[in-house]
Amino acid sequence: MTELYGVLSFDIRGSRKIKDRMKLQNVIKSLIESLNNNFSDCLASKFSLTAGDEFQGVLRDFSKIYDVFKAVKRKLDFRFYCGIGIGEITTEISDKPFEMDGPAFYRSRDALNIAKKRNLNVYVITGKQDVDYLLNLILKVIFFIEENRTHRQSQIVKYFEENPKIKVSEVASNFGVSEQSIYKTLKKAGFSLVLEMEELVKLILSKPYEVELPVSTGGG
């Protein structure tokens, strides 16, 4: 069976309007270094700058694709677009993504362009239409929930994400509220629902060509 790869392409939103270009470049370089260190075991080609404020990397382990996306989302203060493409690479594997070519790269670029056109955080193209529809629908629901959270809800959710083993009592103490208040905030923020949907996204991404949907949903 032909080996398949996942290509993630990122582009900073409205980067030309950002005045402190030096700061932006330094933030991206630091992020790239972090991604290459933390996900070294699943990378076929390290993340690197490709053009302007765009950066790209190639994964051989699909199950880590969403984890990479979340890591960028958590660490990058600037808003961005992400295009994820899964498929073959028809050239030799290189340390530099821009030296490679193939369907995985075409799909990642097309996905990035769709994300920009539709103003989406991320878009995925695997080449399997029904799976793509399902993945992108779930992702849109996740981000709809996240974008409608209050600032306070976002702060508390972020605290849990950055400290996954922390106890609710510790979070309550840190924010100066009761444990009951934390539970209520998490419920209103759709915290558990988003976690469930994210696990589903990871599962589908880990084996996109094995997923069988009962009805073809069409593209979208």
Task: Please check the confidence at residue 213 and state whether its pLDDT lies above 90.
Answer: no
Residue 45 has pLDDT above 60, yes or no: yes
Instruction: Give the model's confidence band at 1: pLDDT under 50 very low, under 70 low, under 90 confident, else very high.
Output: low
- What region, left, alpha or beta, does residue 143 occupy, with left being phi > 0 and alpha being psi -120 to 50 degrees? alpha
Rounded to two decimals, what is the model's pTM?
0.88
Q: Which CATH number fits domain 5-127: 3.40.367.20, 3.40.50.1100, 3.40.1280.10, 3.30.70.270?
A: 3.30.70.270
Between the two ends of the chain, the Cα-to-Cα distance in Å is 28
Retrieve residue 66's tokens: 């969403």
Indicate whether 21 pLDDT > 90.
no
Q: What percent of the chain has pLDDT over 90?
A: 69
Write the pLDDT tens digit of every residue in 173-198: 999 999 999 999 999 999 999 999 99
Question: Do residues 70 and 35 lie in contact, with contact meaning Cβ atoms separated by under 8 Å?
Answer: no
Q: Are 108 and 123 in contact (CB under 8 A)?
A: no
- Residue 208's pLDDT is what? 87
Q: Where are the domains of the chain?
A: 5-127, 150-188
Q: Residue 146: how many CA atoms within 13 Å on its side-chain side?
A: 17
Q: What is the model's pLDDT at position 78?
A: 83
DSSP structure string for 108-131:
HHHHHHHHHHHT-SEEEE-S-HHH
Give the chain's length: 220
Percent of all residues in the chain with a pLDDT value above 70, rounded to a whole number = 93
More confident residue, 214 or 30: 30
Query: In Å, how far are 31, 47, 68, 86 from 37, measured between CA atoms?
Result: 10, 10, 12, 22
Residue 175, SS3?
helix
